[in-house]
Chains A and B, each alone.
Chain A
Amino acid sequence: MSNSRVLLLSAFVIFLFGLLVIRLFIIQISSHEKYKSQADKQQNKIITLKAERGLILDRNGEILAYTKQDNTLYADCRMLNGKYKKDRTKIARKLAKIFNKKPSYYINKIKRGKGNIILEKKISQEKARLLEDFTASGYYKTQDYTRIYPYGKITAHVIGAVDRQLRGLDGIEKVYNKYLVGKDGFLVAEQDARGKKVTVLYEQSMNPMPGYNIVLTINKSYQKILREELEKGLAKYKGKSAVGIIVDPNTGEILSLVSLPDFTPEKYGKNPQKNRRNRAISDTYEPGSTIKSIVVAMLLENGLAKPYEVINTENGKYRIKGATIHDTHKYKKLTVSEIIEHSSNIGIVKLSGRLNDRIFYKGLRDFGFGNYTEIDLPGEAKGMLKKPSSYSAISKAFISHGYEISVTPIQITMAYAALVNGGHLLRPYTVKKIVDEEDRTILSNGKKEIRRVISDRTSEQIRNMMIGVVENGTAQLAQLKDVLVGGKTGTSQKLINGRYSNKYYNSSFIGFLPADNPKLLCFILVDSPEVGRYGGQVAAPIFKNVMQRIIDIDLNLDLEKKEIRRNNSPITKLITQNENDNQEGFFNPSSKKENIVNSKYDNLPAGVMPELKNKSMREAISILSKLKIKYKIVGNGKVVSQSVKPGARINEKTTCVIKCKMINVPEGVSVN
């Protein structure tokens, strides 16, 4: 018996026991966290539950974008060929029944396939339901989501597009992505060693929260009409690109916005950049004559001009500080109103001289030029507005007829909205409200005034001048049958390689209706038309077609239609108009024959015949009514002669015969 052996045995037992305890301690206490996370990782399978992306609706609840859930069926050929024929037959038979194909179709497909193959792609919901409980080894299905735009290209530039993961890439989809995405949920499932789902741990799981729905200010019908007409116009006039915007000038709501060429939203990435660019907000151009109304508004607002004031328009050619300004049609004299009507460059250049640089700059700035409109669409440009410090001697002259300034379509549109709505510069917006699943409002947009730029009175005066543009001036092709329209054309030579081109023009027109209480303001721009050149020839007819169709279909618009007789009896037209005109302080209710614009001539010297020549017929009527003399009008258009000579004394019994003549003048442009 040897004690040393007992000792050796005990030592060995104790040593090994100690070793195991230390090892146990290391595993269970020191490395506990490591093994725990490893256990969780392999035991818990986190299944993402995709949140449904919100809908995008137009202002009337029409769905413009939604998400479709698709099922795609796959087969793992490695698990189905060779000795696993049984499952292959099972799958083939099942699918053949549902998809009306022969089982051999699927069998051959699997036989030929390598790895994972798609058996059926994006199957319909009903078919997916039929396959809900079907299982076979080597067969599995995935769900994927596709964003669907029922109106495709029509709404492309407003709505934008999403990428494969349904993240917003452009348009509303991009700007409002965070509202649309919702919050993905997840299912924590315990899985066993074979990866089979065992139980769902609901307390650790989270349901997905669907994205919010977005209600746009866009009217889908307008959008469709605007796009169709722009496309037609683009084809007809052979333009390169076109932009159309319709806004509610009283709220800043964008009712429609089209930029051509456009893109198929589902294939966003495959479209060239020129198609993806939203020209309505990203592109700037020199506005040309459309800026004139704004310059005149500034003059009127500052008391530096009066609508009837006569300006010497130098018979079409005028030199200013070394530059020569031309008018397309030559006039010796024009009133301020007529300068707008006929878009006289010389007239506006002369008038702009009355504004000092600072006021001129500030005025344009106040109308929103050189600044973002902050429209809720991506990629807005702010254009270029020269500061007085960098003005050359002729800068103001050129800016006043729309050169040396670049603007975006949305800027000029909003400036015009301010011109016609009583002087309120508004922020344009495309999203009316954001609502959750239960239609509770999450966010709502409304009219947001940036600043007041002109008075109601000035706005009124400008509106009337622009009615003249359509009725007598450069935009007669924008006339509608039974709604009085106002507007202004713009034609600018494009700057190509540093030189103003004689071939490429930007032809634009901005119009509003009804002219006395504008509800719609529509901007049309055609880039480089090959047929036609002037805004009045190219853009105005497009405007007319768009507006006519909108008036015809939109019963909500609730326009009072009135017969407007033109050519044959212009007076009737005006009288008809007056009878329906209820604007406060705008006419004298006791005298139905008073002209809508009479208030402008309140301070005419009494008892003396004024100069009527070259005035528009409407102005002439306005002045004659104010003078309370009898008159007779022959013809239509501009006053060419008057029976009572200017300066002659008149009384209530005086009868004056005015001869008018139609002069169809597209505006001219002039550069040095």
Chain B
Amino acid sequence: MFQKLQDRFDFSIFIAVMLLIGIGLIAIYSSTYNHPTAKGNFDKQVYWALFSMISFFFFYFLPHKSFRYLSVYFYAFSLLLLVSVILFGKVVSGSKSWVSLGPVGFQPSEFAKIGLIFFLAYWLSYKRRNINNLKDVGVALLIGLVPVALILMQPDLGTAIVFALITFVMIFWAGLNLFAFFVVVSPAVVVFVSLFGVSALIITLILIILALFFFKRDLFTSITIFVINLASALVFNYLVKYLKPHQQKRIETFVNPSADPLGAGYNALQAKVAIGSGGLFGKGFMQGSQTQLRFIPEQWTDFIFCVIGEEFGFWGSIVTLSLFFIIFLRIINILPSVKDEYSRLVLVGILTLLFVHFGINIGMNLGITPVIGLPLPFISYGGSSLIVNMSLMGVLMNIYKNRRLYT
């Protein structure tokens, strides 16, 4: 009986997700207890959690072909939302990323993740497309980069990075050869490295030249690729100047976290202090002084992991990380058994989405990635993110259930 059920519903992922939501609620409770403005967040998150369960099962029970058919509409609707948010959205901490739906705020960029994953999977799996031609790669990149551009206009760098990475990984998964992948990814790497100064950039450019020798393409192609890399670094650094000051600060802080301990680096530093002071077993539930004395602003969102680290210590952190690890490995484990290319691509998209959020969020809590405002899936406070993530888990579970079918 259980085996039969296990065949249609992956309990390891589901339980891990449930546990993460539970941990999230505990951490939100602790960090918002008696807080002057965020007192009600725990209750709200409980409602969101219940609501997200409904959407999880809604997607779980949808006929599995429907995703494919809905892909185009989802994507189109996503773009519509992203455009409207730029036009009508309300500004929250420097970014226009919210639209109001009656009494509740809603982040279109969250919903757009579903649209992107579905549509990119649809396009990449269309009639066994061979991705290794310039036109197809171009279109695939365009599908990804249009929402990226719209999100950057909000501007929301973190989410834009997530979209870009989802796009890259899905294209890579679709069978892009190593050289093409190199061509696509290297400008992004160069842009990232350029943040760390000229010498890092030069070293990276030298590595790219060496890589180009390794690929043994003709001189013209090689030079073109190199010029694209160089240009993207320059253009990016030019564009950085047009970023909002708080975002520039964040990038600067990432490069040199201790430069401004009371300014933008404050959060990163306080997060480390909170986690570090937790020690092996933590200070206990509601006993995290760093949390309770509110040294980290809005801790229930992007810095929720500090609460866990401080109050439950190294073991609590490891348990949390391990639950994510179980989810990621399980998804990778499921991948080869999925017969349908579209579904596999959707799974890869979901995996990338969760993993990027996880990696960057934990990374910024531990001070190894820049503070770019990405919530920790299932744990951070926030309705849009939880509902979208749970919906995607529903999709994932649906795919698992129907893994033996071709569409």
**Residues of A participating in the B interface, judged by any CB pair closer than 8 Å:** 1-3, 5-6, 9-10, 13-14, 16-17, 19-21, 23-25, 27-29, 31-32, 34-36, 38-40, 42-43, 190-193, 198
Indicate whether A6 sits within 8 Å of B321 (C-beta atoms), given known contacts A32-B279, A34-B276: no
Residues of A near B172 (CB, < 8 A) are 5
- Kindly supply a per-residue 1/0 record for chain B positions 278-299, scoring 1 wherever the CB is within 8 Å of any chain A CB and 0 otherwise: 1110000000011001111100
Interface centre among A5, A19, A21, A43 (most CB of B within 10 A): A5
Q: Which of A10, A35, A43, A198 contacts B329 (CB 8 A)?
A: A10
Q: Is the CB of B332 within 8 A of A13?
A: yes
Q: Is the CB of B277 within 8 A of A32?
A: yes
| Closest 4 pairs (CB-CB, A-B) | A35-B276, A39-B277, A192-B293, A28-B314
CB distance from A195 to the nearest CB of B (A): 10
* Assembly CA distance A2 to B131 (angstroms): 15
CB distance from B134 to the nearest CB of A (A): 21
Closest Cβ neighbor of B270 among chain A residues: A193
B161 interface residue (CB < 8 Å to A): no
One of B2-10, B210-218, B361-369, B398-406 at the interface: B361-369
Q: Is the CB of B289 within 8 A of A29?
A: no
B245 interface residue (CB < 8 Å to A): no
15 pairs, CB–CB < 8 Å, chain A vs chain B = A9-B335, A9-B348, A10-B329, A10-B332, A17-B325, A20-B366, A23-B368, A24-B309, A24-B314, A27-B272, A28-B275, A39-B273, A40-B277, A42-B273, A193-B294
Residues of A near B313 (CB, < 8 A) are 28
Chain B stretch 302-337: residues in CB contact (< 8 A) with chain A: 309, 313-314, 317-318, 321, 324-325, 328-329, 332, 335-336
Interface residues on B, range: 35 or more
Q: Is the CB of A27 within 8 A of B290?
A: no
CB distance from A265 to the nearest CB of B (A): 45
Q: Is the CB of B173 within 8 A of A27?
A: no
Residues of A near B317 (CB, < 8 A) are 24, 28
* Assembly CA distance A23 to B332 (angstroms): 24
Q: Which of B273, B318, B355 contacts A21 (CB 8 A)?
A: B318
Residues of B near A190 (CB, < 8 A) are 289, 293
Closest Cβ neighbor of A35 among chain B residues: B276
Residues of B near A16 (CB, < 8 A) are 355, 359
Q: Which of B279, B295, B344 contacts A42 (CB 8 A)?
A: B295
Q: Is the CB of A36 within 8 A of B366?
A: no
Q: Which of B275, B296, B318 contacts A27 (CB 8 A)?
A: B275
B351 interface residue (CB < 8 Å to A): yes
Residues of B near A6 (CB, < 8 A) are 332, 335-336
Interface centre among A13, A31, A34, A36 (most CB of B within 10 A): A13
Q: Is the CB of A35 within 8 A of B294?
A: no
Q: Is the CB of B279 within 8 A of A29?
A: yes
* Assembly CA distance A193 to B173 (angstroms): 46
Q: Is the CB of B278 within 8 A of A28?
A: yes
Residues of B near A17 (CB, < 8 A) are 321, 324-325, 328
Closest Cβ neighbor of B344 among chain A residues: A1
B175 interface residue (CB < 8 Å to A): yes
B274 interface residue (CB < 8 Å to A): yes
Q: Is the CB of B293 within 8 A of A191?
A: yes
CB distance from B184 to the nearest CB of A (A): 15
* Assembly CA distance A530 to B393 (angstroms): 109
Indicate whether A43 sits within 8 Å of B359 (C-beta atoms), given known contacts A24-B275, A27-B276: no
Q: Which of B276, B321, B328 contacts A36 (CB 8 A)?
A: B276
Closest Cβ neighbor of A190 among chain B residues: B293
CB distance from A24 to the nearest CB of B (A): 5
Q: Is the CB of B336 within 8 A of A1?
A: yes
Q: Is the CB of B329 within 8 A of A20?
A: no
Residues of A near B362 (CB, < 8 A) are 20
- Kindly supply a per-residue 1/0 record for chain B positions 349-373, scoring 1 wherever the CB is within 8 Å of any chain A CB and 0 otherwise: 0010001000100110011100000
Q: Is the CB of A25 within 8 A of B314?
A: yes
Q: Is the CB of B277 within 8 A of A2?
A: no
Q: Is the CB of A9 within 8 A of B325?
A: no
Indicate whether A38 sits within 8 Å of B277 (C-beta atoms), given known contacts A6-B335, A27-B272, A192-B293: yes
